[in-house]
Amino acid sequence: MKARKNNSTNKKATTGAKNQIRKKSNPEGIANTTINNKSSGKKSNPEKNAESAPLNKGVNKNSTKGNKVRKTSPTSGKPFAKNLPATAKKPATTKTLRPQPLPEDLRYYVCYKPYGMLCQFTNEKDSTHPVLADLHGFETDVYAVGHLDRDSEGLLLLTNDREWSSRIAHPIKGLTRTFMLQVEGDITPDAVEQLQKGVLITNNGKIMRTASAVAQKLNTSPALPERNPPVRYRKAIPTSWVKLTTNEITNRQMRQMTAVLGFPTLRLVQTGFGPLQIADMTPRLVRALNEKEVQKCAADVK
């Protein structure tokens, strides 16, 4: 009997010592559910434990198990837009760009340069050819964008905005220009294809291949004003029209290209410069570009 009492006393002492060790290792009194359940022999109830544990931030109480609803964006940290699912993007907003007023000191003109006029403002000595200054009283700092030689005609831009001019007239990134070429003879599909790929010509004593272009033979003559003086035709030889679009080939090179292919150019008219078209303009007409036209040209640069 005494031995049994001693054993029970020893067990109580051991249990008390273990409890003291637990209290020391967990001085804040935080409940250890797993240890207590094992020692008491009771099964753990995960539902009760989940109810007693604090909810994680960003988890909806009413959501099903494992489904988390983000209240904020993981990248920006900003709350999502209302009435949109967490994975949806905010609807893009479109802005309407309005033409901005042009600086008062900048000038932009478009004119129809007639045949026989020099693309310069002052004439050389003993020269009777008309010049651009004969069209309008341009400001002294205004100059032509690009160049049309004396025998070429059509749309020509003038400005004193050097930055705008260099952008739209860049030989690679600038605006494309459209030309109408009246050639002698009925140009063949093979010749049109060669105009597109490039033609070997002589430039300053060196052989070079012209840049590629978009070439198209026209079935009918374009609606253009009559040239003064009129083009000289040969009755026995027909003529045809070719539309050429490029931003690298000069009008002088175009004349060489068609001549090499056997179809000399009789008339060359620049009808388009980017978004600007000759439309119903007549020779010698000059007008100022508006804000929308100026900004459209700059926006269309590559």
Q: Is 149 considered catalytic here? A: yes
Residue with tokens 């007239």: 169
How many distinct helices (H) and strands (E) make up the chain?
7, 11
Residues β-bridged to residue 159: 108, 143
Instruction: Give the residue from 243, 264, 286 showing the smallest Cα distance to 109.
Output: 286
156: buried, middle or exposed (CB in 10 Å: 19+, 13-18, 0-12)?
buried
How many whole angstroms separate alpha carbon 166 and alpha carbon 29? 79
Q: Which of 126, 149, 161, 186 is catalytic?
A: 149
φ, ψ (nearest 5 deg) of residue 143? -140, 165
Q: How many CB atoms lie within 10 A of CB 78?
A: 8
DSSP strand pairing (108-113 vs 214-218) = unpaired
DSSP 234-266: -TTS-EEEEEEEESS--HHHHHHHHHHTT--EE
DSSP 48-104: HHHHHSPPPTT--TTSPTT----SB-TTT-PBPPTTS-TTPPPPPPP-PPPPPPPPT
Enzyme catalytic residues: 149
